[in-house]
Amino acid sequence: MALLPLFAFCMLTNLLAQKQVQPETVLLIQNLKEKEEMELDSLWKTIDQDDPQFKALDYDDSAWAPRGSAVTKLNENGVAWLRLSFRLTPDLLKMPLCLDIAQNGASEIYLDGVLLDSVGVIGAGEPALNVLSKRFPKSFSVADTGIHVIAVRYQSHPVVNTINDMDGSFRAGLLSSYKTFNINFRDANAYYAKGIAKNAQLTTILMSLGGIFCALAVVHLLLFCFYYKGWYNLYFGIYNLSIGLFCIFIFKIQNSYEIDLYLFYVKASVFTLILFSVSLTGFTNTLFGRSRIRRIIMLGIGALCFASALISPLIMVLLLPFYLITVLVESFYIIVRAMLRRERPAFIVGGGILACFAYIVILFLVSFLSKSNPINNFIDSNNRNALLIILITFPLSISGYLAYQFGRTNTSLQLQLAEVKRLSAKTLEQEHEKQHILQNQNVLLEEQVRTRTEDLQLEKQKSDELLLNILPQEIAEELKERGETQTRYHEEVTVIFTDFVNFTENSERWGAERMIAELHEDFTAFDQIMEKHGLEKIKTIGDAYLAVCGLPLKTNNHAHQTVLAALDILQYVREKAQRNEGNALDIRIGIHSGSLVAGIVGVKKFAYDIWGDTVNTAARLEQNSLPGKINISESTYQLVKDYYIFEDRGLVEAKGKGEIPMYFVKSTKEKYQA
């Protein structure tokens, strides 16, 4: 009985000690609920000073102020410390825990004086905000049910007010969406498992949708490249591309904890919304719209949204929602109107579009009325599955429309092919008959063509022969090819002149008819001699005969060839005189070598002629020759003196030339005789 007072005193002392160790400001964590938020401002203690001792477990924070509205004010311009004392129930001991942290600044979190985790970097002037939270914070465990302390060194970010700066505007909006500072205790295993599962589902859905829509975009953009008149393929390709990129950017936003990347994907998603609106209005107006002006205006507003996003974010923020809603309403109106007009493509395409529109509108209305985030609503499994089905129905409806177009085109081609076959069968017999007639006509025509061709070839041959009788062959070919000829200078040629001596007396005695026959016979023989020795006949003047050697093609032995031709002429005249018993014409021959000019004179009844002193000199040599003699000049003599025997006549007076040396050709030297 005496021990009872002692026992009562001990119990009382123990209770008083426990009361001191476990003050009312210690948070007792009995269970871990996912939705529980520990915003117990009265349990947090805060001070606007910065001292490393504040993180110690045994530091006395009784003089600190409770966390409340004053904390935000203290934290605006510098670093502040917060402390929270807690203890766990036995069932939570050694369980892996983590701290779900939300903040708009930077912090260092200490557990019982040891650095547990950090978010962002506390800076000298303001925090370096590279991250605002972590997907998987560090885990920890507590081994006893005693009192433990969470100490937080925290620096809030100053208010950002940059409405005309797109990066600043998005950054300000991002910071304002986070609470100043909040910590929730979580079961690390459950928290990580749920985060991984959530991320896996989100990755599967968003990346699958992004891949599907991007693939559709590539297909339709390629279709537009091969058929540039199908503008609906271009707009629908851009439409699919915008949705695919938007899904990818949403995935990146949900998985980006670095602020710069986060803001980049947010801005990119805004641009995809503009691209979505532009492509949607272009697509619906191209397929079902009747007003070209309205389409141009709507596309122009889309271009203005792009420009404003780069120039003035404030204009873009005000213009984009209006433009997006206007495009949705306009597309809805156009499709419904096309359905009322009973356009079959409108029912095929419109079903998927209207279902997608309806769900998006309902989602945003519900989100607006419930003041929740549409992205979070999308992540919800029921909404996610419903939206997934609806988003897939839209490309399926377009595929149905394309299949309808292809089927209609294929049916039309089949009908046309059947009609072609019918017409072919009907006209096949007529074609055979026509072929038979044509074959007969072809035979007749071929025979006529052959006959006409032969006649033409004969006439052409006659024309060519006639032309060659008038002109040298080279000159004739040039005239046929070019329609004209050029007058050419020939430096080394030999000219021969012949003249019958007693032509006038014999013409009076024989009569004109016989004289013409005699001349024709003689000149024909002369022509053959000229052709034999390579001379070119120029013309006949009465009973005179003019020829030249060494043109139009150059001949090295032109003088020798000319003298041979002259000897053959004399031989011919002598033989004819013997046949006619002396009753024949006698002839004089003059030859001179030098240069001259040759060409065609006139355009009607034209003739090939030669000019120059060489021609005149050859004429004077013929005039000063004797019957049956070949009179040559000094220049010709020098060229042929090794081949023939001559009679030197000395200097002989020639009309207009004075005295010039002349030679008679008597015969060919014995060693050159054939």
pLDDT at 312 over 80: no
User: What average pLDDT does this structure show over 7-16?
Assistant: 42
Report the pLDDT averaged over residues 545-549.
92
Backbone Cα Rg of the chain: 60
| CA distance linking residue 396 with residue 384, whole number of Å | 18
Q: Which of the 8 DSSP states describes residue 158?
A: P
pLDDT digits (tens, 9 = 90+) for 60-112: 888 888 876 444 444 455 788 888 888 888 888 878 888 887 777 788 899 98
- Please state, as a whole number, how many other Cβ atoms lie within 10 Å of the Cβ of residue 46: 25
pLDDT of residue 75: 47
- The mean predicted confidence, pLDDT, of the chain is 76
Token pair in block for residue 28: 């007792």
Query: For the residues of 179-237, what is the DSSP string, one character each?
Result: -SEEEEEEEHHHHHHHHHHHHHHHHHHHHHHHHHHHHHHHHHHHHHHH-TT-HHHHHHH
What would the two tokens of residue 13 be?
A: 């002392």
| pLDDT for 429 beyond 60 | yes
Q: Pick the residue with more confidence: 22 or 143?
A: 143
What is the model's pLDDT at position 105?
75
**Which pLDDT band holds residue 450 (cuts at 50, 70, 90)?**
confident
Residue 279 near residue 242 (C-beta atoms within 8 A): yes
Q: Name the token pair of 437.
A: 């007639």
Q: How large is the average pLDDT for residues 312-325?
A: 74
Is the pLDDT reported for residue 394 higher than 70? Answer: no
Count of CA atoms in the C-beta half-sphere (13 A) of 147? 19
Cβ atoms of 587 and 605 within 8 Å: the answer is: no
Residue 673: how many other CB atoms lie within 10 Å: 7
* Residues in Cβ contact with 419 at an 8 Å cutoff, skipping those fewer than 6 apart: none
Torsions phi, psi of 56, nearest 5?
Answer: -70, 145
Q: Given pLDDT bands bounded at 50, 70 and 90, which one contains residue 5? A: very low
Q: Is the peptide bond before 374 cis (omega within 30 degrees of 0)?
A: no
**In the predicted structure, residue 615 carries a pLDDT above the cut 80:** yes
Angle at 29 between CA 71 and CA 37, to 5 degrees: 50
Structure confidence at residue 127 (pLDDT): 63
Asked if 554 and 631 touch (Cβ cutoff 8 Å), the reply is no
What is residue 566's predicted lDDT score, i.e. its pLDDT?
A: 92
- State the pLDDT at residue 493: 92
Residue pair 224/237 in contact by the 8 Å Cβ criterion:
yes
pLDDT at 376: 52
Which of 43-47, 169-173, 506-510, 602-606: highest mean pLDDT?
A: 43-47
pLDDT in tens, 568-604: 999 998 888 888 766 677 899 999 999 988 887 766 6
Cβ neighbourhood burial of 170 (10 Å; 0-12, 13-18, 19+): buried
Q: Are 70 and 45 in contact (CB under 8 A)?
A: no
* Cα–Cα distance measured from residue 619 to residue 500, given in angstroms and rounded to the nearest whole number: 13
The residue that leads in pLDDT, 299 or 560, is 560
pTM (2 decimals)?
A: 0.48
For the segment 184-229, what is each residue's pLDDT rounded down to a tens digit? 788 888 887 777 777 777 777 778 777 878 887 888 788 788 877 7
pLDDT at 652 over 70: yes
Q: Given pLDDT bands bounded at 50, 70 and 90, which one contains residue 355? A: low
Rounded Cα distance, 179 and 31, in Å: 24
Binning pLDDT at 50, 70 and 90, where does residue 239 land? Answer: confident
**Higher-scoring residue by pLDDT: 24, 146:** 146
- Sorting pLDDT into bands at 50, 70 and 90, what band is 496? very high
- Min mean pLDDT across 53-62, 259-268, 302-311, 362-371 is at 362-371
* pLDDT tens-place string over residues 334-343: 878 877 877 7
Residue 384's pLDDT is: 53
| Strand-pair partners of 84 | 150
Higher pLDDT, 296 or 459: 296
pLDDT at 392: 65
**Strand, helix or coil at 119?**
strand
Nearest to 149 by CA among 98, 111, 185: 111
User: What confidence score (pLDDT) does residue 18 get?
Assistant: 41
Q: DSSP letter string over 464-497?
A: HHHHHHHS-HHHHHHHHHHSS---EEEEEEEEEE
Tokens 């969406």, residue located: 177
Check if the beta carbon of residue 630 is closer than 8 Å to that of residue 659.
no
Give the count of beta carbons closer than 10 Å to the beta carbon of residue 159: 10
144-166 pLDDT per residue, tens: 888 899 898 888 766 554 444 55
pLDDT value for 545? 92
- Euclidean distance between the first and the last CA atom of the chain, given in angstroms as a whole number: 183
Confidence of residue 281 (pLDDT cuts 50, 70, 90): confident
Is residue 587 within 8 Å of 473, Cβ to Cβ? no
